[in-house]
Amino acid sequence: MPDKHYDIVIAGTGPAGLTAALYGQRLGLDTIVFGDIPGGNVYMIEKLENYPGFIGGVAGTEFGVKVFQQAQNEGALFTLTRLKKLGHGDGKFLATDANGQVHSAAAAIIATGRVPIRLPAAKADLKGINFCSVCDGPLYRNQNAVLAVIGSDNSAAQHTMTLARIADKVYLIHRSERLIMDAAHAGLIADQENVEIMGQTEVTGIKGLDFIEALTIRSKAGEEKDLPVDGVFMAVGWRPNSALLDFQVDMTPEGYLTTDANLMTSHPGLFAAGDIRDTDMWQVLTACADGARAAKYVGDYLTGR
């Protein structure tokens, strides 16, 4: 049985979860937070340049740690363990962590974000297929490496810019007619002499034994060929990370949680914030705003306002 009852249990230590913890504590709500990476997926951002107040940008890891420290200084309890299951019974939320310990709360905020999608191709788990250029890009330094980035959004742009400073050659491969990243990112990539953009090109296969050796690509005209590479960085999309919920909640067909104007889901007392939520913008700034609003509305919910 739970040994302590909290006002809010928060799942996720990304920008949304950390901001919710910060605001929750400042509102006088006893808060416990689950998640093992301060900042969540922001560690994958080498330089966060579109967040107000940081002229010249800020490293994703630095941003995440600073917000984590702010929330911790306000008194939020961080378990630094992942939440295995979030259930509900006897009028309270029951949070089971990775160690099997159960914690209870009157309300919950799920801010577990999204996780990268793997390429739907055979051998998509070969060594050399990566998802974080900040983490794994340095492995290719001084290797005269030829690398590929698959995707065309801002995540793909971040990978490409990081890898362009490391590799001899970077291919940016995408299926769409045009890049869907911000114009600022597209402009920076266009200035990189060692980056080749391969638009309207589909990756149809992966070759290699233990390590990746080549990508099989098909052009819009139907021409197929092998492209030798030393490594690949994926940015083909994301899926919502909602598997820990142990009860029914309304979602979109893609699995994003639907919320009302107060960010509450179809389950009373469960709020959603950040990238896990059905939203029209997946940004660090909007995730932080969601976290602040969710904490405020949890306070309203608990006081009956």
Residue 119's pLDDT is 84
Q: Quick one: DSSP state of residue 119?
A: P
C-alpha 132: how far from its chain's center? 11
The answer to whether 188 and 159 have CB atoms below 8 angstroms apart is no
Residue 304's pLDDT is 85
Residue 4's pLDDT is 82
Q: Class of 5-115+238-302 per CATH? A: alpha beta
Residue 23's pLDDT is 98
Amino acid found at 82: R
- Work out the angle between the directed axes of helices 183-190 and 154-164 (0-180°, nearest 10): 30
Please determine whether the domains at 5-115+238-302 and 118-234 fall in the same fold group of CATH.
yes
Residue 260's pLDDT is 97
Residue 120's pLDDT is 82
Residue 256's pLDDT is 97
Of 158, 143, 218, the residue nearest 188 (C-alpha): 158
Mean pLDDT, contiguous 10-residue spans, the chain (305 residues): 83 97 97 95 90 93 96 95 94 93 96 90 89 93 96 94 96 93 93 96 94 94 94 93 95 96 98 96 95 98 86
Of 190, 183, 202, 123, the residue nearest 161 (C-alpha): 190
- Please state which architecture CATH assigns to domain 118-234: 3-Layer(bba) Sandwich (3.50)
Residue 305's pLDDT is 63
| Domain limits, the chain | 5-115+238-302, 118-234
Residue 221's pLDDT is 87
